Amino acid sequence: MSIRVILADDHTLFREGLRSLIEEQPRMKVVAEAGDGRTAVQLAQTMSPDVVVMDISMPGMNGIEAARQIMCSAPGVKVLALSMHDDNLFVEEMLHAGASGYLLKDCAFEELIHAIHVVAGAGTYVSPQIDKRPKQLSTCRRQM
Protein backbone atom coordinates (compact mmCIF):
# COMPACT_ATOMS: atom_id res chain seq x y z
CA MET A 1 0.00 0.00 0.00
CA SER A 2 1.30 3.46 -0.93
CA ILE A 3 1.75 6.41 1.38
CA ARG A 4 -0.52 9.12 -0.04
CA VAL A 5 1.10 12.57 0.15
CA ILE A 6 -0.12 16.14 -0.41
CA LEU A 7 2.56 18.79 -1.02
CA ALA A 8 1.74 22.29 0.25
CA ASP A 9 4.19 25.06 -0.65
CA ASP A 10 3.71 28.37 -2.43
CA HIS A 11 6.69 27.80 -4.72
CA THR A 12 5.54 25.84 -7.78
CA LEU A 13 9.01 24.79 -8.91
CA PHE A 14 9.82 23.47 -5.44
CA ARG A 15 6.56 21.45 -5.32
CA GLU A 16 7.14 20.05 -8.82
CA GLY A 17 10.68 18.99 -7.90
CA LEU A 18 9.52 17.28 -4.71
CA ARG A 19 6.69 15.55 -6.58
CA SER A 20 9.12 14.20 -9.14
CA LEU A 21 11.51 12.87 -6.49
CA ILE A 22 8.81 11.45 -4.19
CA GLU A 23 7.03 9.63 -6.97
CA GLU A 24 10.25 7.76 -7.78
CA GLN A 25 10.03 6.20 -4.33
CA PRO A 26 8.41 2.80 -3.95
CA ARG A 27 5.09 2.89 -2.11
CA MET A 28 4.69 6.69 -2.22
CA LYS A 29 2.29 8.73 -4.31
CA VAL A 30 1.67 12.48 -4.44
CA VAL A 31 -2.11 12.78 -4.70
CA ALA A 32 -2.36 16.59 -4.79
CA GLU A 33 -0.51 19.89 -4.49
CA ALA A 34 -1.50 23.14 -2.81
CA GLY A 35 0.01 26.60 -3.18
CA ASP A 36 -1.58 28.01 -0.01
CA GLY A 37 -2.86 26.89 3.38
CA ARG A 38 -6.58 27.11 2.56
CA THR A 39 -6.20 24.81 -0.41
CA ALA A 40 -4.10 22.41 1.69
CA VAL A 41 -6.91 22.18 4.27
CA GLN A 42 -9.54 21.58 1.58
CA LEU A 43 -7.42 18.92 -0.12
CA ALA A 44 -6.68 17.17 3.18
CA GLN A 45 -10.43 16.96 3.82
CA THR A 46 -11.34 15.64 0.36
CA MET A 47 -8.32 13.54 -0.64
CA SER A 48 -7.69 11.77 2.70
CA PRO A 49 -3.90 11.64 2.37
CA ASP A 50 -1.68 9.91 4.87
CA VAL A 51 0.72 12.88 5.12
CA VAL A 52 0.65 16.56 4.19
CA VAL A 53 4.17 17.94 3.69
CA MET A 54 3.63 21.62 4.42
CA ASP A 55 5.58 24.84 4.38
CA ILE A 56 4.90 27.37 7.14
CA SER A 57 5.11 30.59 5.10
CA MET A 58 2.31 30.54 2.55
CA PRO A 59 -0.17 33.17 1.35
CA GLY A 60 -3.79 33.22 2.47
CA MET A 61 -3.32 30.92 5.45
CA ASN A 62 0.03 29.96 6.90
CA GLY A 63 1.05 26.38 7.57
CA ILE A 64 0.57 26.64 11.33
CA GLU A 65 -3.11 27.62 11.02
CA ALA A 66 -3.58 25.10 8.20
CA ALA A 67 -2.16 22.34 10.44
CA ARG A 68 -4.61 23.33 13.21
CA GLN A 69 -7.53 23.14 10.81
CA ILE A 70 -6.40 19.84 9.33
CA MET A 71 -6.14 18.31 12.81
CA CYS A 72 -9.74 19.37 13.53
CA SER A 73 -11.33 18.52 10.18
CA ALA A 74 -9.24 15.53 9.07
CA PRO A 75 -7.84 14.02 12.28
CA GLY A 76 -6.34 10.92 10.63
CA VAL A 77 -4.09 13.03 8.39
CA LYS A 78 -0.51 13.64 9.56
CA VAL A 79 1.25 16.95 8.92
CA LEU A 80 4.99 17.18 8.36
CA ALA A 81 6.37 20.73 8.32
CA LEU A 82 9.09 21.43 5.76
CA SER A 83 10.33 24.96 6.33
CA MET A 84 13.27 27.30 6.08
CA HIS A 85 12.40 28.62 9.58
CA ASP A 86 14.70 27.10 12.18
CA ASP A 87 13.59 29.28 15.09
CA ASN A 88 12.33 27.26 18.09
CA LEU A 89 9.14 29.33 18.21
CA PHE A 90 8.12 28.16 14.71
CA VAL A 91 8.96 24.56 15.58
CA GLU A 92 6.98 24.68 18.83
CA GLU A 93 3.98 26.40 17.26
CA MET A 94 3.83 23.90 14.41
CA LEU A 95 4.07 20.93 16.78
CA HIS A 96 1.51 22.49 19.14
CA ALA A 97 -0.81 22.95 16.15
CA GLY A 98 -0.71 19.18 15.72
CA ALA A 99 2.09 18.55 13.23
CA SER A 100 3.81 15.19 13.64
CA GLY A 101 7.16 16.41 12.40
CA TYR A 102 9.37 19.33 11.44
CA LEU A 103 12.16 19.39 8.86
CA LEU A 104 14.33 22.17 7.52
CA LYS A 105 14.33 22.75 3.76
CA ASP A 106 18.09 22.33 3.64
CA CYS A 107 17.77 18.66 4.67
CA ALA A 108 18.79 15.84 2.37
CA PHE A 109 16.02 14.25 0.31
CA GLU A 110 16.66 10.92 2.06
CA GLU A 111 15.85 12.57 5.40
CA LEU A 112 12.54 13.83 4.00
CA ILE A 113 11.62 10.33 2.81
CA HIS A 114 12.57 8.88 6.19
CA ALA A 115 10.47 11.54 7.98
CA ILE A 116 7.45 10.82 5.76
CA HIS A 117 7.70 7.11 6.64
CA VAL A 118 8.04 7.87 10.38
CA VAL A 119 5.09 10.28 10.41
CA ALA A 120 2.90 8.00 8.26
CA GLY A 121 3.63 5.23 10.77
CA ALA A 122 2.21 7.39 13.59
CA GLY A 123 5.62 8.50 14.84
CA THR A 124 7.08 11.96 15.38
CA TYR A 125 10.11 13.25 13.52
CA VAL A 126 12.05 16.44 14.26
CA SER A 127 15.15 17.22 12.25
CA PRO A 128 18.31 16.40 14.21
CA GLN A 129 19.57 19.90 13.37
CA ILE A 130 16.70 21.32 15.43
CA ASP A 131 16.56 18.60 18.07
CA LYS A 132 20.19 19.18 19.16
CA ARG A 133 19.89 22.91 19.72
CA PRO A 134 19.35 24.26 23.23
CA LYS A 135 15.63 24.63 23.99
CA GLN A 136 14.18 28.01 24.86
CA LEU A 137 11.33 28.54 27.30
CA SER A 138 8.07 28.87 25.45
CA THR A 139 4.81 30.64 26.11
CA CYS A 140 3.02 28.47 23.54
CA ARG A 141 0.03 26.55 24.77
CA ARG A 142 -1.57 23.62 22.97
CA GLN A 143 -4.86 24.67 21.45
CA MET A 144 -7.67 22.15 21.23
How far is C-alpha 141 from the chain's CA centre?
20
Is position 86 within any domain?
Answer: yes
Is position 61 within any domain?
Answer: yes
Is position 137 within any domain?
Answer: no
Is position 115 within any domain?
Answer: yes
pLDDT at 140: 32
Is position 56 within any domain?
Answer: yes
CATH number, domain of 93, equals 3.40.50.2300
- Number of structural domains, the chain? 1
Contact 142, 119 (CB under 8 A): no
pLDDT at 17: 97
Which is it for the CA torsion 30, 32, 35, 38, positive or negative?
A: negative
Q: State the residue range of the domain holding 80.
A: 3-128
Is position 98 within any domain?
Answer: yes
List, for the chain, all residue ranges whose pLDDT scores fall below the cut of 70.
131-144
pLDDT at 138: 35
Is position 120 within any domain?
Answer: yes
Is position 99 within any domain?
Answer: yes
Q: pTM of the predicted model, to two decimals?
A: 0.89
- Model pLDDT for residues 15-42, shown as the tens digit of each residue: 999 999 999 999 999 999 999 999 999 9
The tally of CA atoms less than 13 A away on the side-chain side of residue 105 is 13
